[in-house]
Amino acid sequence: MTKTIAVIGAGPGGYVAAIRGAQLGANIILIENREVGGTCLNRGCIPTKTYFRNAEIMSSFKRAAEFGITAGEFKMDGKALQERKNKVVNTLVGGIEQLISSYKNIEFLRGTANIKDKNNISVELKDGNKKEITVDNIVIATGSKPQMTETKGVDLEGVITSDELLEMEEIPETLIVVGGGVIGLEFASIYQELGSQVILLASRILKDADKEISRRLVPMLKKQGIETYVDIRAKEITKEGDKLRVLAKYKEKDEEIEVIGDKVLIASGRGPVIEGLNLDELGIKYDDKGVFVNNEFETNIPGIYAIGDVNRGVQLAHVASAQGEYVMEKIMGHTPDVNLDIYPNCVFTMNEVAHVGYTEEELKEKGIPYKASKFMFAANGKALSLGEGEGIIKILAGEEDKKVLGVHILGPHANDLIAEGTLAIANGLDIYSIMRTIHAHPTLSEAFFEATLGLEDKAIHIAPPRKRR
């Protein structure tokens, strides 16, 4: 008998799950009360990367003289920036809608879902009607939303979330960013290039990254022009005329600072979208971090699953998509063939950051013997020709079995280069699988190759270690 499966939410987790379920022969009912593509496409990954490209171009204009180019006056047009972002987003939204409609066994409902029990859902349709549906399984993929801190004054006008910043046409003269995670750092780096003077207040910089990478990133942020304060927390936000004043206190010392800006971006994380789902009445366990699930992404109610940002796991679009495919394959009786434990983390700052696998700190904590090798982009021909010689590739491998355990990149196109490391770790490859592979010249991938060669003291473009007398 053909299964009928409801997917609530059409973001990167939900629409991918719906399509995979349809491919496997299920009848899918996909329910979404906002735009197809979810946060990632409409208010996250794609809009910010569109802005990132604008920031790259602005940075190139500023550095034109380095390349022998005399450039005239230039400035960012906030309205044009919005229009370009909307065009990119709308193109992709339309493409996904067309893709969904190409599957005859996917019924797309625009509306809000209320789960009655594990087999019944009531949908308040956008046109004002109500539809009752009966299904075999339910996949919750409702995503996440920006969270405000409990800092006093966050309700003041001009204190905004990332969603609101992406809808602004004007570029703030001064932007205060509160938060040193991925969201905070990306917006800080982007808006500094777009024309704002950015002030960054961060308790930590990329807490999950290798500490060497986080440490090296801070001076790069400062070099970019960002006024950067680390190990500090915002205590209070007050209004001062048409400006906002933020009082912040250092964590480890009895010292406070005050900074003034036009807008304050609160980039302190995201929380699950669960309103209206009826989780309390159903008895589905959740907290402010998300819905509790087991290793198969099933909630405590059999037959109801939660994937992506709405569960208490990793908040990454590509992880949500992988979970969506995994769950559909499990429901349809297949054995998923994907390594969900290994996934790349990508940060689109002007000096990009990407990492996968273990950090050095984690290897030391677990007592895993390892070797580390580093290669500087300053010794890579392609990086220098791009004018992006800052940064490092760091590879960690098992001391005995030589398997790749961790890859950490800070520098040009780090978020593209991390794919090779992810492939190696996810498939349990050793360093020799990389070393025996010819890498094209001149490319940034050669830096990855050289870092791997360094684990065996075979790197060509790294000077040999000096022998102690």
Catalytically active residues are 441
Measuring CA to CA, which residue among 401, 457, 392 is closest to residue 424?
A: 401
Instruction: Write the single-letter amino acid at 243.
Output: K
CA–centroid distance for 152 within its chain: 28
Instruction: Identify any residues that bridge with 27 across adjacent strands, giving them in sequence order.
Output: 4
CA angle 357, 314, 327 (to 5 degrees): 105
Would you state the structure tokens that stand for residue 60, as one six-digit string? 């190139």
The count of C-alpha atoms lying within 13 angstroms of the C-alpha of 96, restricted to the half-sphere facing its C-beta, is 24
User: Closest Cα to residue 42, out of 91, 112, 81?
Assistant: 91
Residue 16: other Cβ atoms inside 10 A: 25
Amino acid 458 reads K
Determine how β-strand 174-178 pairs with β-strand 197-202: parallel
| Paired tokens of 291 | 């819905």
For residues 412 and 307, give the distance between their C-alpha atoms in angstroms, rounded to a whole number: 32
Q: Is 342 helix (H, G, I), strand (E, B) or coil?
A: coil
How many whole angstroms separate alpha carbon 394 and alpha carbon 359? 10
Cα(456)–Cα(63) distance, rounded to whole angstroms?
38
Q: Which residue has the tokens 């927390």?
A: 233
